[in-house]
Structure 1
Amino acid sequence: MRRYIRALLLCMVFAVFSGVYVYSRLLYSDVSVGGNGAKKVFSPPRVPGGRQGAADKTGPQSSHWYNRYIMRQRGQVEAVGGKPDPPMHLAVVACGERLEETLTMIKSAVLFSIKKLSLHIFAEDQLHASFMEALESWPDFIRSRFNYTVYSISFPSENAAEWKKLFKPCASQRLFLPLILKDVDSIVYVDSDILFLQPVDHLWAFLSRFNSSQLAAMAPEHEEPRIAWYSRFARHPFYGRTGINSGVMLMNMTRMRAMFFKNDMTAVGLRWEELLMPLLQKYKLNITWGDQDLLNIIFHHNPECLLEFPCQWNYRPDHCIYGSNCASAEEDGIYILHGNRGVYHDHKQPAFRAVYEAIRKYTFGADPMKSLLEPVEEELQRTTHTYCGKSYPLFTKRLAHSLANVNRKTSRGR
């Protein structure tokens, strides 16, 4: 009888060890992507109409590159050991020949930012692979500061062609961000010709200054009504005394989606998605600057919804081309440089071009003072024959402070 009991016990022990072995084989055949979450085979997430990170089929096909992407994603999750702080969201639209310009803007954003960035890049399909290859080639200590999604350009199907050709190609995409990014609460939208000269965090902080009715923030188009474009030439309603410039736009999109906007087409308020096409149909023969004009019309009728930030947050050639007329920049320096009118790529405003070229050529990890600040200061001193060049200390005042912080981070081991 005892022999039967011993045999039964041996069978039970063997069965337990066999079960443990089979379970361990099943467990380790998967790839862990998080220290605390479920373990699963890595599958890059999909976003409707977009490409997450660089894991789409149109991206680079190198297995080394792909494995590097997997390891980075795993490391980022494991490093925090739990739920990370929510990132700041930054959106940009790139069409035509805007690839390098957009990458330089992103470079300036991630170089200085403190909190992590989540980038939303809307681009023509032929640019997707180039964006992903460029961003994935950046060093890991920079890549750890941001994640990104590349989206296709998309407009409402019944009027897509009309929206796409409004003003510059694809520029009106920004109007539809609240409808496309439905799970994003707030976002900073910038044109591709923007350069951050200090952390995005400082602009993001304006969200905490919104009162209960404000849902967006922009800078004035001009400071002086006597020489401002809107006050002299506009054939449609516009915000305030000089209008607003939409090259830098901070949006609480949750509020935008919920708001019923006053308008001059109906006595009742209209939601954002109900408002855009009727506005275009009413004013398309009277608008010059496309989607920016539509935003001016909207906030003319809803001024309580807008927070105005100073011109140093959207400093353009208009602020210095005929003499300095941005008081906040004269006091504290330029926070965000906006190279509209193509001034980064011609020789009409060499001060703007000097800053752009210095950031474009800067190599991540190099001494920021010697490799970025000193070259740009030297080049700016050659531009004093222009009105903007005469104000060249404004271009480096904030930049020098930001680069000093980058230097401190580098010296602490990045």
Structure 2
Amino acid sequence: MRRYIRALLLCTVFAVFSGLFVYSKLVYSDVPVGGNGPKRGFSPPRVPGGRRGAADKTGPQSQHWYNRYIMRQRGQAEAGGGGVQSRPDPAMHLAVVACGDRLEETLTMIKSAVLFSIKHIYLHIFAEDQLHASFMEALESWPGFICSKFNYTVYSISFPSENAAEWKKLFKPCASQRLFLPLILKDVESVVYVDSDILFLQPVDRLWEFLSQFNSSQLAAMAPEHEEPRIAWYNRFARHPFYGRTGINSGVMLMNMTRMRSFFFKNDMTSVGLRWEELLMPLLQKYKLNITWGDQDLLNIIFSHNPECLFEFPCRWNYRPDHCIYGSNCASAEEDGIYILHGNRGVYHDRKQPAFRAVYEAIRKYSFGADPVTSLLEPLEEELIKTTYTYCGKTHPLFTKKLAHSLADVNRKAPSGR
């Protein structure tokens, strides 16, 4: 009997000390040593439904690189109260990346998007930290009837930490940020990504409508890189796989990011499909010595192996100098005019393609609230007439055909008493 009592006492003492040990571990594990405890990153805004001027203070516990970035949002409440305004349609999401000297160019792109939009737009602006204050100051200076058409968030540039420098320098500064949008904007279902040198000549809404035309396998939409194979780049010079006959151009890209996050992409590196987040780095490591156009080349490689995932829209949605410098070769623009102008190769800022520069300058100089016909369209038409000595200038009616309709709609919807 004494042996049983001793055994019971020993077990009791052991249980008490074990409990004290576990308790002490729990207590001290919650105390950061020297103030260097875990830091919580911000999560992307849960939109639509987010408020202007209220950054989401709750972040995910995961310490992945794509949770570590800074967000800054509009610093004023919604007109008419701080609550969420009820809208019949969810907001469209428009993303852009701006680094270096692209501030004014990006603001001009946003200006063209907001000016013609029908539905509310949520802007996702990824920019170097030194540009954040300038973006916010400029956007907040726009008149109230324009600000009521959009919300925005400004994000810091964010790449995987182990290869951040390599990603940032790929092709253009920060351009490859677009590849990581599905991983950063985790609460956003779909987004229109555009380069900073894009100008909308009709509402973003019309591009957004392509989402409803996707079949069950399509998860992204882009335009072909070229219409004419004899003067196209990819089929003549590329040293890597590319999509279709002439490749795709990623300057205007519509993404169903929910599908992109869940899809297993076929590839030439493994026998099994890889998720988007698993695919990017191995792809860069394999092809980095063979690519010329950076992230656009990587997208061409991805969709060359997964062509069923891509929806192609016509070249009028991504009209570039290549479509006119050797003569007109964009049939859809010849029929209906240019819907989106893409001034790549820096043509907005030099004299090589004055027709493109004229459109950019007309939109940049336009003052919100001024008569869009007399203050934008008519001065632009006068400038375009002066460019007819160039091949692109000879096609100048294409530059204003759709724009004239869009500006007429702006005039009809213009609020009184601005």
TM-score of the pair, normalised by structure 2: 0.83
Q: 1:74 offset after TM fit, Å?
A: 5.0
Task: Tell me if 1:50 matches 2:54.
Answer: no
Task: Tell me if 1:173 matches 2:193.
Answer: no
Task: Tell me if 1:219 matches 2:223.
Answer: yes
Query: Is the contact made by 2:55 and 2:71 (CA closer than 8 Å) also made in structure 1?
Result: no
Q: 1:400 offset after TM fit, Å?
A: 0.2
Following the alignment from structure 2 to structure 1, what is the Cα–Cα distance between the partners of residues 274 and 55? 38
- The letter for the 2-side match of 1:346 is D
Query: Aligned-pair RMSD on alpha carbons?
Result: 1.8
Following the alignment from structure 1 to structure 2, what is the Cα–Cα distance between the partners of residues 83 and 382? 44
Task: Tell me if 1:387 matches 2:407.
Answer: no
Q: Which runs of 5+ in 2 are unaligned?
A: 1-48, 60-66
Task: Tell me if 1:145 matches 2:165.
Answer: no
Closer, same or farther: CA 43–199 of 1 in aligned 2, 3 Å: closer
* 1:220-235 correspondence runs (5 A): 220-235=224-239
Query: Is the contact made by 2:240 and 2:301 (CA closer than 8 Å) also made in structure 1?
Result: yes
Partner SS, residue 122 of structure 1: strand
Query: Is the contact made by 1:93 and 1:173 (CA closer than 8 Å) also made in structure 2?
Result: yes
Query: Is the contact made by 2:73 and 2:153 (CA closer than 8 Å) also made in structure 1?
Result: yes
Q: 1:53 offset after TM fit, Å?
A: 1.9
C-alpha distance after superposition, 1:251-281 (max 9, x if no partner): 0000000000000001100000000000000
Query: Is the contact made by 2:74 and 2:151 (CA closer than 8 Å) also made in structure 1?
Result: no
Following the alignment from structure 1 to structure 2, what is the Cα–Cα distance between the partners of residues 133 and 76? 21
Closer, same or farther: CA 297–44 of 1 in aligned 2, 3 Å: closer
Task: Tell me if 1:85 matches 2:105.
Answer: no
Q: Select the structure that is richer in helix.
A: 1
C-alpha distance after superposition, 1:194-215 (max 9, x if no partner): 0000000000000000000000
Task: Tell me if 1:126 matches 2:130.
Answer: yes
4+ aligned runs moved over 4 Å, structure 1: 411-414
Following the alignment from structure 2 to structure 1, what is the Cα–Cα distance between the partners of residues 205 and 54? 31
**Identity, % of aligned pairs?**
83
Q: 1:226 offset after TM fit, Å?
A: 1.2
Following the alignment from structure 2 to structure 1, what is the Cα–Cα distance between the partners of residues 351 and 203? 28
Partner SS, residue 286 of structure 1: coil
- The letter for the 2-side match of 1:97 is D
* 2:205 alignment counterpart: 201
* 2:340 alignment counterpart: 336
C-alpha distance after superposition, 1:265-313 (max 9, x if no partner): 0110000000000000000000000000000000000000000000000
Task: Tell me if 1:187 matches 2:207.
Answer: no
TM-score of the pair, normalised by structure 1: 0.84
Q: Which runs of 5+ in 1 are unaligned?
A: 1-36, 56-68
* 1:12-411 correspondence runs (5 A): 44-46=55-57, 49-55=69-75, 69-70=76-77, 72=78, 75=81, 77=83, 80=85, 82=86, 85-410=89-414
Following the alignment from structure 1 to structure 2, what is the Cα–Cα distance between the partners of residues 145 and 77? 16
Partner SS, residue 229 of structure 2: coil
- The letter for the 2-side match of 1:381 is I
Q: How many residues align?
A: 359
